[in-house]
């Protein structure tokens, strides 16, 4: 029998839920060798995290049930080992880091204590744990390590928290590190740094790395091998190169086809008239400039993308225009009239013309209202748009426009998938026949294949109905496919703005160049070039 | 934090002042103390002399300002009944109530937090169901009825403990046990619920992935996070006890502030009522500050 560092054989896990039995993974087999990086690629619900949870004994039984399979590590079948034997392996031989480090770190203990705990939990003396924790905090690149040890998770940035999670996982130099979507909610430049750090640490320690991700770019950047999962089964295994150029399974091909950033770039219409012009728009919180004299125009029926990292002022811009927050200075001219000077009553009328679609449709749709009520509510607030007797027909028409069915009007949000919910949110925005729809990270939470469909829908609405979009996003490939013009923001200022082709093919500002170089491409060859460009820029 | 406490002190002082106004005038509505204090056959002259002596003939508003003037000098007036400073009378009773409240709440906290945490960890087991049932009974049982039944059973029939009064350790047992039941039931449920959601949180998953053992996961990682809502309820329940457990103190003849207040209201001993209300209000105010401090101690995010 060929010895692998870790081998999952024919694993099947099911969960007993209120909706019945769900087969989370079915007959899944994979292995990992020392020093190797294996990516497990899949969309939400594909079961990509389940085998790792089984390795770490993190599946609660009930409701989970491991029906079949073996997990071999170090000559031992983990599924036959006792809880105590497995606890002794966790953190010591096999460690794990997660997405969203803020919620995965305990908010009430210092990070120094939490990192040291990995070591003390396995019986090492306190002082040794402390010294090693400090060494690790320094190694993962946290500034002022001594002070950082005494701070709490909420006092760090997202990227730093993930570095601290990594430090915590590496306390006892594990043979295997499982990273579950380790860079998903992070800014692109931070994502690239974290992946580089993981790679360096892997070289230093020779550990095997399991990288669970939904992002083909992450696979191209970091993986030696990848398994593609769909509906709880492995559909394909191969090197990133093979998968990209030679995908066998239709699902892999579908994923690759849905990956954004390959389409024809749009040419902005030079004749278009501006409908919204912001002049020196500013917002300060005390001495802090959230938005500093921002100037831009938004034309009729165009998509203006605003890109930038967290804290750059993208969402603040939208909130000031809609008067969800009051600006500290400047003007926002809507058809020549300053929105910032309008009375609440006048603003109410403008809100009909400017609608908003948010990132998380689960939270932005009232769970106790039916789809019909959600969409027609807009006509209660703005009477005169649609006569009451025509509401039913109009709701069904709108649902058709966003690719849903008329009978969906009587259902409730929880009965839909994430992508369908976002379509409902779009139908709601369309109900008032707006001129401008502001999309704040509207496709960021969706799976790639769903994302592509929603973008296609938005593009169609723009072209058919002449709606303009302000498209706030951190995901550059999506912007590349959808935008006419792009604003690049950093720390409350516009760094660069121009037509999409100019921004992507000929970025002038170093910051834009760095942002583009940090983005990950599904093509391993392109990604290699990006990586070289990135290293050159950071040198 | 100091600023927050300062703000809290000012707003509490204002509420205290409003409370004094309210209680002062409301208590005057209950009627004439002279009628209760003097014998039924007292002559009109005697009543008049009594009123004159205690300033009860002045217009109520004049009485109020002279009362405020005394208050500023730290004089709470004398008790009509006991002819002693009202504050002394109240403080004497308050010490009894404070002891009763502290002992009861300490026992309740230890018992409810331990049992609630274990119940949450063993959710769905027989232990969990048993403690849940126990807490539900505790939270909904009427204390006056339990007090009376307890006296009948343990004092009258079995003769294990005295029926009422103070004097020995034995006198404390029944009041504490009766007062224990309701806060125990309530807090146990809050602990269990709060622990359940904390045990399902992401940082517990991390701790398990680190190989941390079950006991520190429950009592180190989860409990501290789960304590915030628990501390709120503990404070709430303790405040109720500090106000004087009126019913229980009365049934057991326990000389605490609750019993004192009932007696003073029945006797229209205005100065004692006011002093008692101010002392308990101050105690509750101090306890609220302690709860804020406990929050900050438990959760570093609040300290900022």
Instruction: Read off the pLDDT of residues B41-59 as tens digits, 9 standing for 90 and up.
Output: 878 888 888 888 777 788 8
Q: B67: pLDDT confidence band, cut at 50, 70 and 90?
A: confident
Range of the domain at B15: 2-72
Centre a 10 Å sphere on the Cβ of residue B18 and count the other Cβ atoms it contains: 10
CATH class in words for A36-45+88-257 = alpha beta
Could B210 and A107 be called an inter-chain contact, meaning their C-beta atoms sit closer than 8 Å? no
pLDDT reported for residue A55: 93
Give the domain CATH number at B156. 1.10.3720.10
pLDDT reported for residue A222: 93
CA distances from A380 to A245, A377, A412 (A): 53, 5, 19
| B78 domain residue, yes or no | no
Question: Taking 80 as the threshold, does the pLDDT of residue A196 lie above it?
Answer: yes
| B106 domain residue, yes or no | yes
**Mean of the per-residue pLDDT values for chain A?**
91
User: CB–CB of A398/A434 below 8 Å?
Assistant: no
Residue where one domain finishes, among candidates B22, B49, B72: B72
Residues B97 and B149 in one domain: yes
Q: Average of pLDDT values for A98-106?
A: 92
pLDDT reported for residue B29: 82
Give chain B positions within 8 Å (CB) of A92: 211
pLDDT reported for residue B117: 92
CA distances from A30 to A33, A37, A213, A233 (A): 10, 12, 16, 11
User: CB–CB of A347/A337 below 8 Å?
Assistant: no
Residues B200 and B52 in one domain: no
pLDDT reported for residue B244: 66
Give chain B positions within 8 Å (CB) of A87: 208, 211, 213
How many domains would you assign to chain B? 2
Residues B260 and B299 in one domain: yes
Question: Taking 70 as the threshold, does the pLDDT of residue A38 lie above it?
Answer: yes
Nearest to B300 among A88, A100, A152 (CB): A152
User: CB–CB of A50/A59 below 8 Å?
Assistant: yes
Per mean pLDDT, which range of A32-41, A353-362, B50-59 is the poorest? B50-59
| B79 domain residue, yes or no | no
Give chain A positions within 8 Å (CB) of B300: 107-108, 152, 154
Residues B226 and B295 in one domain: yes
Q: A119: pLDDT confidence band, cut at 50, 70 and 90?
A: very high
Residues B248 and B152 in one domain: yes
The predicted complex's ipTM stands at: 0.83
User: CB–CB of A495/A296 below 8 Å?
Assistant: no
Q: Does A92 contact chain B (CB < 8 Å)?
A: yes
Which residues have C-beta within 8 Å of that of residue B236, sequence separation ≥ 6? Answer: none
Residue ranges of chain A that CATH labels 3.40.50.300: 36-45+88-257, 301-326+343-508
pLDDT reported for residue B112: 94
Q: Pick the residue with more confidence: A133 or B62? A: A133
pLDDT reported for residue B41: 80
| B81 domain residue, yes or no | no
Q: Of A516, A470, A469, A480, give the one whose Cα is nearest residue A495.
A: A516
Q: Pick the residue with more confidence: B276 or A17? A: B276
Residues B31 and B112 in one domain: no
Q: Average of pLDDT values for A135-146?
A: 92
Per mean pLDDT, which range of A238-242, A404-408, B76-80, B102-106 is the poorest? B76-80
Cα A321 to Cα A339: distance, rounded to the nearest angstrom: 7
Residue where one domain finishes, among candidates B48, B72, B96: B72
| B233 domain residue, yes or no | yes
Residues B42 and B165 in one domain: no
User: CB–CB of A27/A401 below 8 Å?
Assistant: no
| B80 domain residue, yes or no | no
Burial class (CB in 10 A: 0-12, 13-18, 19+), A361: buried
Order of all β-strands in the sheet with A37-41: A94-97, A176-180, A208-213, A37-41, A225-230, A233-238
Question: Taking 60 as the threshold, does the pLDDT of residue B84 lie above it?
Answer: yes
Cα A119 to Cα A150: distance, rounded to the nearest angstrom: 17
| B94 domain residue, yes or no | yes
pLDDT reported for residue A328: 93
pLDDT digits (tens, 9 = 90+) for B232-253: 999 989 988 887 678 888 888 8
Give chain B positions within 8 Å (CB) of A95: 209-210
Residues B54 and B120 in one domain: no
Residue where one domain finishes, among candidates B72, B103, B130: B72
Residues B251 and B278 in one domain: yes
pLDDT digits (tens, 9 = 90+) for B98-144: 999 999 999 999 999 999 999 999 988 999 999 999 999 988 888 88
| B138 domain residue, yes or no | yes
Question: Taking 60 as the threshold, does the pLDDT of residue A530 lie above it?
Answer: yes
Could B206 and A106 be called an inter-chain contact, meaning their C-beta atoms sit closer than 8 Å? yes
Q: At what angle do helices B202-210 and A158-169 cross, to 10 degrees?
A: 30
Q: Does B84 contact chain A (CB < 8 Å)?
A: no
> Would you give the DSSP letter of residue A272?
P
- A301-326+343-508: CATH superfamily: P-loop containing nucleotide triphosphate hydrolases (3.40.50.300)
């Amino acid at each position: 029998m060929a010895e692998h560092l870790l081998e999952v054989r024919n694993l099947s896990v099911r969960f007993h839920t209120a909706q019945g039995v769900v087969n989370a993974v079915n007959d899944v087999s994979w292995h990992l060798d020392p020093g190797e990086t294996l990516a497990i690629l899949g969309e939400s619900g594909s079961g990509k995290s389940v085998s790792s949870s089984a390795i770490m004994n993190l599946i609660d039984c009930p409701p989970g049930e491991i029906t079949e399979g073996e997990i071999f590590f170090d000559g031992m079948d983990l599924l036959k080992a006792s809880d105590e034997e497995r606890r002794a392996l966790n953190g010591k031989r096999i460690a794990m880091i997660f997405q969203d480090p803020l919620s995965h770190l305990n908010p009430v203990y210092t990070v120094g204590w939490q990192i040291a705990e990995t070591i003390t939990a396995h019986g090492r003396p306190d002082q040794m744990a402390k010294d090693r924790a400090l060494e690790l905090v320094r190694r993962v690149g946290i500034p002022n390590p001594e002070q950082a040890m005494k701070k709490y998770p909420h006092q760090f940035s997202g990227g730093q928290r993930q570095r601290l999670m990594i430090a915590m996982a590496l306390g006892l130099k594990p043979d295997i590190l499982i990273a579950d979507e380790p860079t998903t909610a992070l800014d692109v430049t931070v994502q690239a740094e974290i992946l580089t750090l993981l790679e360096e640490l892997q070289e230093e320690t020779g550990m095997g790395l399991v990288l669970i991700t939904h992002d083909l770019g992450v696979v191209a950047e970091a993986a030696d091998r990848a398994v593609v999962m769909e509906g709880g089964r492995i559909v394909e295994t191969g090197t990133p190169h093979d998968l990209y150029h030679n995908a066998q399974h239709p699902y892999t091909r579908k994923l690759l086809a849905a990956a954004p950033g390959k389409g024809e770039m749009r040419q902005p219409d030079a004749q278009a008239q501006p409908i919204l012009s912001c002049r020196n728009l500013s917002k300060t919180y005390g001495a802090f400039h959230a938005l500093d004299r921002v100037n831009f125009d938004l034309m009729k029926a165009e998509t203006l993308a605003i890109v930038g990292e967290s804290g750059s002022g993208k969402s603040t811009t939208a909130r000031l225009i809609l008067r969800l927050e009051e600006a500290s200075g400047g003007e926002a001219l809507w058809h020549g009239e300053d929105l910032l000077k309008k009375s609440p009553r006048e603003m109410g009328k403008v809100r009909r013309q400017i609608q908003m679609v948010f990132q998380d449709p689960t939270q932005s749709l009232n769970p106790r209202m039916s789809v019909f009520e959600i969409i027609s509510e807009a006509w209660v607030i703005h009477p005169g748009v649609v006569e009451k007797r025509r509401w039913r027909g109009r709701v069904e028409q709108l649902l058709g426009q966003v690719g849903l069915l008329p009978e969906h009007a009587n259902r409730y949000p929880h009965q839909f998938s994430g992508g369908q919910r976002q379509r409902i949110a779009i139908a709601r925005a369309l109900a008032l026949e707006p001129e401008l729809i502001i999309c704040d990270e509207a496709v960021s939470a969706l799976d790639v294949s769903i994302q592509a469909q929603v973008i296609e829908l938005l593009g169609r609405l723009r072209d058919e109905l002449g709606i303009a979009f302000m498209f706030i996003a951190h995901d550059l490939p999506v912007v590349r496919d959808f935008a006419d013009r792009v604003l690049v923001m950093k720390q409350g200022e516009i760094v660069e703005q121009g037509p999409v082709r100019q921004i992507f093919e000929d970025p002038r500002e170093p910051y834009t160049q760095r942002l583009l170089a940090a983005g990950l491409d599904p093509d391993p060859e392109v990604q290699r070039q990006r990586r070289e460009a990135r290293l050159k820029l950071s040198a | 934090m100091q600023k927050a406490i300062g703000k809290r002190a000012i707003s509490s002082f204002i509420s205290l002042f409003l409370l004094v106004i309210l209680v002062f005038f409301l208590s005057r509505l209950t009627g004439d103390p002279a009628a209760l204090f003097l014998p039924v056959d007292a002559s009109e002259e005697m009543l008049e002399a009594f009123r004159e002596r205690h300033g009860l003939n002045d217009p109520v508003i004049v009485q109020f300002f002279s009362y405020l003037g005394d208050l500023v000098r730290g004089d709470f007036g004398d008790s009509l009944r006991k002819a002693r400073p009202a504050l002394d009378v109240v403080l004497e009773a308050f010490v009894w109530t404070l002891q009763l409240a502290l002992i009861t709440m300490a026992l309740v906290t230890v018992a409810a937090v331990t049992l609630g945490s274990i119940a949450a960890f063993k959710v769905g087991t027989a232990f969990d169901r048993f403690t849940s049932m126990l807490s539900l009974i505790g939270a909904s049982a009427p204390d006056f009825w339990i007090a009376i039944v307890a006296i009948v059973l343990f004092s009258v029939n079995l003769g294990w403990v005295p029926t009422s009064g103070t004097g020995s350790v034995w006198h404390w047992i029944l009041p504490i046990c009766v007062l224990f039941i309701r806060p125990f039931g309530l807090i146990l449920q809050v602990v269990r619920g709060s622990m359940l959601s904390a045990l399902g949180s992401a940082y517990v998953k991390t701790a398990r992935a680190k190989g941390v053992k079950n006991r520190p996961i429950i009592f180190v990682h989860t409990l501290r996070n789960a304590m915030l809502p628990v501390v709120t309820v503990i404070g709430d329940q303790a405040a109720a006890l500090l106000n004087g457990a009126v019913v229980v103190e009365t049934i057991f003849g326990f000389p605490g502030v609750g019993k004192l207040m009932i007696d003073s209201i029945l006797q229209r001993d205005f100065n004692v009522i006011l002093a008692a209300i101010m002392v308990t209000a101050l105690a509750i105010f101090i306890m609220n500050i302690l709860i804020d401090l406990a929050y900050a101690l438990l959760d570093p995010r609040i300290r900022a």
